[in-house]
Amino acid sequence: MTLDGMRTLDLTGRVALVSGASRGIGYAIAATLLARGATVTITARKPDELVAAADELASTVKAGADRVLAVPGHAGDAAARAAAVDRTVECFGSLDVLVNNTGINPVYGPLMQADLGAVRKIFDVNVVAALGFVQQAHRAWMGEHGGAVVNIASVAGLRSTGAIAAYGMSKAAMIRLTEELAWELGPSIRVNAVAPAVVKTRFSTALYAHDEEQVAKAYPMGRLGTPTDVAALVAFLVSDAACWITGETVRVDGGLLATGPPR
Residue 33 falls inside a structural domain: yes
Residue 48 burial by Cβ neighbours in a 10 Å radius (0-12, 13-18, 19+): exposed
Among the options 27, 167, 208, 219, which is catalytic? 167
Say what the pLDDT of residue 1 is.
Answer: 33
Residue 27 falls inside a structural domain: yes
3-state SS, 212-255, equals: HHHHHCCCCCCCCECHHHHHHHHHHHCCHHHCCCCCCEEEECCC
Q: How many domains does the chain have?
A: 1
Residue 218 falls inside a structural domain: no
Q: Is 208 in the active site?
A: no
Residue 215 falls inside a structural domain: no
Residue 262 falls inside a structural domain: no
Which tens digit of pLDDT belongs to each residue from 77-125?
999 999 999 999 999 999 999 999 999 999 888 899 899 999 999 999 9
**Which range of residues forms the domain containing residue 42?**
15-197+228-253
Residue 213 falls inside a structural domain: no
pLDDT exceeds cutoff 70 at 261: no
Say what the pLDDT of residue 221 is.
Answer: 92
Residue 50 falls inside a structural domain: yes
Question: How many angstroms separate the CA atoms of 60 and 72, rounded?
Answer: 21
Residue 6 falls inside a structural domain: no
pLDDT confidence of 42, banded at 50, 70, 90?
A: very high
Tell me the percentage of the chain whose pLDDT exceeds 90.
81
pLDDT exceeds cutoff 60 at 201: yes
pLDDT confidence of 3, banded at 50, 70, 90?
A: low
β-bridge mates for residue 70, sequence order? 42
Question: Are the beta carbons of 18 and 33 closer than 8 angstroms?
Answer: yes
Question: How many angstroms separate the CA atoms of 215 and 82, rounded?
Answer: 40
Which tens digit of pLDDT belongs to each residue from 48-57?
999 999 999 9
The CATH number for 185's domain is 3.40.50.720
